[in-house]
Amino acid sequence: MADTIKCPVCGRDNSADQEFCENCQSRLEPLTGPLKGADAPIKPGQAPTRKNTAELEPILPQWLRDARDSARKSAEDEAVSQIGKQSQESFSASNSDLLAGLQSHADSDDEETPDWLTSITGNSAASKKLDAESPEVRWVELGGASDFAQEEPPVESSSEKDEIADWFRDASGSLQSPGFEQPASSSHDSFIASSDTPDWLRQMAAEHETKDEVVSAKPFDAVPSSLFESSDTPDWLHQLGEDASKNSDSFFTDAEPSAGAESALPQSDAPDWLSSLGAGSQEQTPSADSADFTGPVSGEKEAAEIPSDEGLPDWMKGLQPTESEQSIQAETPAWLKDDAQPSTESADNFELPSWLSATSPTPEKPVQEEQPAQDDLPLGDIPGWLKAAAPQSSIYSDSPTEEAAPSSDADWLTSFKFPSEQTPEPQPQLPPVFSTDEPAEVPAFTGDAQSNYNMDSLFTDMPDWLSNAMEEPSSTSASAPAANSLDSLTPGELPSWVQAMRPLDAGSSQSVANDQTFESRGALAGFQGVLPLTTGFVPTSKPKVHSIRLQVSDEQRSQAAMLEQILAAETAPEPIASFSALPTSKGLRWLIAFVLIAVLGTLSFMRTQIFSLPVGVPFEVSGAMNAAQAIPEGAPVLVAFDYEPARVGEMEAAASPMFNLMQNPNLTFISTNETGAILAERFISGPLADTDQSGIQRLNLGYLPGGQMGIRAFAQDPEFTFPQLEGVTSLSQFAALIIITDSADSARAWIEQTSSSRGTIPVVVFSSAQSAPMIRPYYDSQQITGLVSGLYGSAVFEQNMSGGSGISRNYWDAYSVGMLLAMALILGGGLFNLALGLRDRAASREEK
Amino acid sequence: MTTLDLITAILSFLFTLLIFSYLIGDNPLFRIAVYIFVGVSSGYIAAIAWWQVIWPRLIQPLISAMLTGSLLEKGLIFVPLLGAVLILMKASPRLAGMSRGVMAFLVGVGAAVTIAGAVMGTLIPQVMGTINSFDLASASARNISLIEVIFNGAFVLAGTIFTLTYFHFGARAKVDGSTRRNGLIEISAWAGRIFIGITLGTVFAGVYAAALTALIERIMSLFNFLGNFL
């Protein structure tokens, strides 16, 4: 991760040691050390931070800058209107952003001013505050188009300046060189710490102490005085301060404190190396961006005077700006603008330089980022004493050159810069002399950035300064400079207004749940607690419990009870008065069974023939006998065995006389009962065995499935149903139909389903005694020819046909005794029950 | 007596005693006999269904049709097979719906056959028989006197009317809220109850006579079995 750095513009990976992208030549990391890492994309849960995007201003389109400038101008005009008229005339609006920040910082928080800075100024905090700089006056650097000196022509020729100003401008111009700033700041610190101060410089410091109060109250004067008062101040710097104090009446003390201080030094007294340095540096910094400050002084005429390195000290020679550093533009330092306000008195004493007067209060330009080339300055070239003194130097602390210093210097620089950001109030005391290096801001960076930045992102990501300028132009103008100097916007990060619209992290919902604060942003700004407490549905209170009990009055309750009683009365069964029946007695049951078995067993075992067979012949039995006698010999007779095995004794006894009566019929047995086939076999091997005659054909067709449908199908086409009946295509081809059944339903089915197909063939039914009452109507209606039911009918049939020898005769005594016994039991039971009834009635009568 | 007859006689004797044991109440011996009868009867019925229904009426015609039958015969023979298979679907509750068509056909045909047989074989002949009760010609053919014919006919007619009237339960509500049938209907219903009682008595007598005959046959079989060893 640390090996490569992703370009924020094009996204290409670059090695970590590279400062610019290989592809788009964009800066890979922000110049401002404290901002490093601060511009990282926001992460979930991270609170949105306010982002200032002032550094992107140079790459904005012209229309946008114009709009911004107009906003600033309105704010500035409002502030400037409170200042005196002289201040408005003598000072240009092109102030330095950086110094404006220092101004506000010093004004609001003096105790945070480093000691070294206080010692440099030589004045107390109160004395630093100029009269002309009222608290209302806030020199806010908003950055303007005028700050970019390349667009402005030189307003004053070099001939209008005195010699001191010339060399000082030369010196300041040389210091404006970004390449020279870093070593210059270090060298300045080294002047303080070193005891090798030249004598001439010490002399300048002594002279500086005797200067006018007006001059000494100025920030410019404070710096050299402090420098000279300090024991660590080099002698040459002391001398420089003294000279600057003496020449406080020069316009440089008013317009350009730092330059004025330097210009205060008599050129004759100034060392040659310093003069040449100033000329050389001024000439070697032809940047157009420094037009506000250096432009006027860096004329072509003066630029030709390039000092030689011979007059410089050795250490100073090494600090000669490189060719690339000389191209860096410098902005007008803010301290220069601030310093110009209190110096109204001195400004009246001399004529305002044309270049300065020509500097119109044009809209300010934003603070330029320092030149990338400044980072390339090797610290190894700086002497050790200079490195050690570097953090203590206040005059370079707010300089962009020092912002571009290596990250090791960022701490002390950050501590100096943030207060100014927080307190944007006007700062009376401005950085001293060497703050003139600040204009050495590198406008070249803006050019590169402008060419490399994605212009579309500017219209999609609205920067803060733009939104703030539209909403609060006056307030933003005060805080913009500090923000402009600190922020750098990478294309990948979210704008602050987008961050403000970001929802809070879900993890903080609990804390948000109890949040009753006012909404400060968005559409709900100004409302309190209108947002949901938590994400999702959360019941706010316990559900209200409703009673399910029916709310009825007493009257309604009584009516409901009456209705229930009515319904219950209608559905309640009415008791039916009935006589009491005898309970079933197991003893009685055993008694009856014992009596029957004993009587019947005895009679059966004894084979008695006490009771004679019935003589009378009923009509139905007579019809059966006639039908049996009417069957021709060898005629086919269909016999249906439809009774249960339990009735085999009765049915065999009832049907056997019939078969004994017939003359060698061809019997065909069929059954609609599953057990009928085997009962037919039993009948054949049983009763018919005794009557077996030669020539009798017996055919057991077996089971006829289908119930009534089977009977009907068989009656319509017997041959189709049973192929054994070859040639029998109709039921009427049989000579007779004999139905042996113990069920009236079976007899009825045969009678009904064969009525249409049997023709006039006789139908004789041998039924059980229990089904005879239901079959008898079919005989009365003449649907059947004869009916022999039970043992009685068999006994009659047997009595009349065979003379009373057969199965019926064997069962007749037992059957007769059993019938009598049954009648006796029924009669006895009836009489007993009658006796009980009479007794109960008699008892009731006695009771009555 | 052959061995088979002896075994049959022994089994008949034992099972008869087991059934008689029901006189002392429900007991295992009675249940054993009943279960054996039920099992034997079921097995026998299954054998009858196979050998007398399925095989001769479904399998054999199918084989015959497949071997020598025409296409029409082959198609027709599959109809009962398909019907039988669909009826077997009733064993599964999920597939029981597939047998609805076949069952509908069977019920429809059975109902038609039953109704037609009942109307043509029972209702109309019975009405005609009741009417013919007063048929003098028929009575004379049976050598029945006129008075007897009229009395018998009147008795049958009265018994039929009274019995049918007994099953007339229609009544009107009176002013006091009570419901009571018409007086004539009440009288006829009362007379009908007599006829119904006599009929039920006759049926009971027939049941008793049938049961008595079966009992006598069983007792006789026991004694006959014992008589073989005496």
Q: Is the pLDDT of residue A408 over 80?
A: no
CB A777 within 8 A of CB B123: no
pLDDT for A243? 52
Q: Could you say which of B44, B130, B213 has the minimum Cβ distance to residue A811?
A: B213
d(CA A206, CA A246): 10
| Residue A222 half-sphere exposure toward CB, CA atoms < 13 A | 28
In the stretch 761-790 of chain A, residues with CB closer than 8 A to chain B read 768-774, 777-778, 780-783, 789-790
Within an 8 Å CB–CB cutoff, is residue B11 touching chain A? no
Is pLDDT of A375 > 60?
no
Q: How many CB atoms lie within 10 A of CB A609?
A: 13
Q: Which of A524-533, A799-808, B29-38 has the lowest mean pLDDT?
A: A524-533
Determine which helix (DSSP H) or strand (DSSP E) holds A669, and give its type and residue range: strand A666-671
Spatial distance between the Cα atoms of A28 and A33, rounded to a whole number of angstroms: 13
- Cα A475 to Cα A462: distance, rounded to the nearest angstrom: 18
DSSP three-state, residue A736: strand
Alpha helices by DSSP H, chain B: 3-20, 28-49, 60-68, 71-88, 100-118, 124-131, 136-141, 146-166, 183-229
Highest mean pLDDT, choosing among A43-57, A198-212, A616-630: A616-630
Buried b (16+ CB within 10 A) or exposed e, A164-185: bbbbbbbbbbbbbbbbbbbbbb
Tens of pLDDT, residue by residue over B63-85, are: 888 888 788 888 888 888 888 89
Chain-chain contact of A677 with B114 (C-beta, under 8 angstroms): no
> Which pLDDT value is given to residue A578?
67
B74 in a structural domain: no
Please choose, from the candidates A194, A832, A791, A152, the residue with its C-alpha nearest in 3D space to the C-alpha of residue B215: A791
Angle between helices A648-661 and A807-847 (to 10 degrees): 140
Q: Token digits for A156?
A: 């004053």
SS3 A283: helix
| Residue A385: per-residue pLDDT | 53
- Is residue B45 in a domain? yes
The confidence score (pLDDT) of residue A452 equals 46
Closest CA to A246 of A172, A346, A338, A176: A346
Q: Does domain A619-811 have CATH number 3.30.300.130?
A: no
| Torsion angle (degrees, nearest 10) of CA A299, A301, A304, A309 | -80
Rounded Cα gap, residues A126 and A131, in angstroms: 10
Is the Cβ–Cβ distance between A146 and A289 less than 8 Å? no
Distance from CA of A544 to the nearest CA of B (A): 49
pLDDT at B156: 83
Q: How many domains does chain B have?
A: 2
pLDDT (tens digit, 9 = 90+) per residue, A59-70?
777 888 788 788
CB contact under 8 Å between A780 and B208, yes or no, is no
Residue B172 belongs to some domain of the structure: yes
* SS3 state at A701: strand
More confident residue, A125 or B62: B62
Kindly state the tokens that stand for B202.
């006759």
| pLDDT band with cut points at 50, 70 and 90 for residue A314 | low
Among B215, B223, B228, the residue to mutate for chain A (most A Cβ within 10 A): B215
Contact B126 A781 (CB under 8 A): yes
Q: Do B125 and A648 touch (CB under 8 A)?
A: no
Closest to A383 (Cα-Cα) out of A445, A317, A288: A317
**Pairing status of strand A13-15 against strand A4-6:** antiparallel
B62 & B142 share domain: no
First vs last Cα of chain B: how many Å apart? Answer: 14
Q: Are strands A698-703 and A736-741 parallel, antiparallel or unpaired?
A: unpaired
Give the range of the structural domain holding residue B171, as residue numbers without chain letter: 135-229
CA distance A596 to A591: 9
B-chain CB neighbours of A753 within 8 Å are: 113, 117, 121
- The model's pLDDT over A246-285, given as tens digits with 9 standing for 90+, comes to 544 444 444 444 444 444 444 444 455 555 454 444 444 4
Other Cβ atoms within 10 Å of A362 Cβ, number: 18
Query: How far apart are alpha carbons B109 and B118 in whole angstroms?
Result: 14
Tokens representing B217?
């046959």
Given CB atoms, is A821 within the 8 Å cutoff of chain B? Answer: no
Q: Determine whether B121 is exposed, middle or buried from the number of CB atoms within 10 Å of its CB (0-12, 13-18, 19+).
A: buried
CA–CA gap between residue A212 and residue A552 (Å, rounded): 106
Q: Which of A326, A337, A330 is CA-nearest to residue A369?
A: A330
User: Chain A: nearest CA to B20, how far in angstroms?
Assistant: 10
pLDDT tens-place string over residues B55-67: 988 888 888 888 8
Listed in sequence order, the residues at least 6 apart from A306 whose beta carbon sits closer than 8 Å to its beta carbon are: A276, A279, A280, A283, A284
- Provide the terminal-to-terminal Cα distance of chain A, rounded to the nearest Å: 123
Handedness of CA B143, B147, B150, B156 (dihedral sign): negative
Q: Does A714 or A480 have the greater pLDDT score? A: A714
Q: Does A650 touch chain B (CB under 8 A)?
A: yes
3-state class of A30 per DSSP?
Answer: coil
What residues of A are in contact with residue B212 (Cβ under 8 Å)?
600, 814-815, 818-819, 822
DSSP structure string for A617-664: --HHHHHHHHHHHHSPTT-EEEEEEE--GGGHHHHHHHHHHHHHHS-S
Mean pLDDT of A573-595: 76
The token pair at B146 is: 């006129």
* pLDDT band for position B135 (cuts 50, 70, 90): confident
Average pLDDT, rounded, for chain A: 64
A336 closest CA partner among A465, A511, A172, A528: A172
Please give the pLDDT value at position A205.
57
Residue/partner pairs of A463-467 with CB below 8 Å, 24 or more apart: A463/A51, A463/A52, A463/A53, A463/A54, A463/A56, A463/A489, A463/A495, A464/A50, A464/A51, A464/A52, A464/A53, A464/A495, A464/A496, A464/A497, A465/A52, A465/A53, A465/A54, A465/A57, A465/A68, A466/A53, A466/A64, A466/A68, A467/A497
A810 closest CB neighbour out of B57, B215, B220: B220
Long-range contacts of A59-63 (CB under 8 A, 24+ apart): A59/A446, A59/A449, A59/A450, A59/A453, A59/A455, A59/A458, A60/A458, A61/A455, A61/A458
Residue in A786, A65, A13 with CA at minimum distance from that of residue A450 = A65
User: Which has the minimum average pLDDT: A183-197, A625-639, A717-731, B29-43?
Assistant: A183-197
Model confidence band, residue A596 (pLDDT cutoffs 50, 70, 90):
confident
Which structure tokens are listed for B102?
A: 């076949």
Q: Which residue has the tokens 């490569």?
A: A4
pLDDT tens-place string over residues A329-350: 444 444 544 444 444 444 444 4
Last residue of a domain, one of B52, B69, B86: B69
Maximum mean pLDDT: which of A352-361, A500-509, A660-669 = A660-669
CA atoms of B130 and B109, how far apart (whole Å): 30
Chain-centre distance for alpha carbon A792: 98
- Check: CB of residue A192 under 8 Å from CB of residue A228: no
- Partners of A700 in beta bridges: A669
A535-559 confidence digits (pLDDT tens)? 555 556 677 777 777 788 889 999 9
Partner-chain contact A708 B117, CB within 8 Å: yes
Whose tokens are 């009868």? That residue is B37
**DSSP β-ladder status, A786-789 and A763-767:** parallel
Residue B202 lies inside a defined structural domain of this protein: yes
pLDDT tens profile A619-634: 888 888 888 888 888 8
CA atoms within 13 A on the CB side of A319: 29
- pLDDT higher than 80, residue B110: yes
Which residues between 115 and 154 in chain B have a beta carbon less than 8 angstroms from any beta carbon of chain A? 117-118, 120-122, 125-126, 128-130, 132-133, 142
Three-state DSSP at A15 gives strand
Contacts of A781 in chain B (CB under 8 A): 125-126, 128-130, 132
pLDDT of residue A765 exceeding 90, the answer is: yes
Taking the Cβ of residue A815 and every Cβ of chain B, the question of whether any pair is shorter than 8 Å is answered with yes
Is residue B14 domain-resident?
Answer: yes
Contacts of A374 (CB under 8 A, 6+ apart): A178, A179, A181, A182, A325, A328, A400, A401, A404, A405, A442
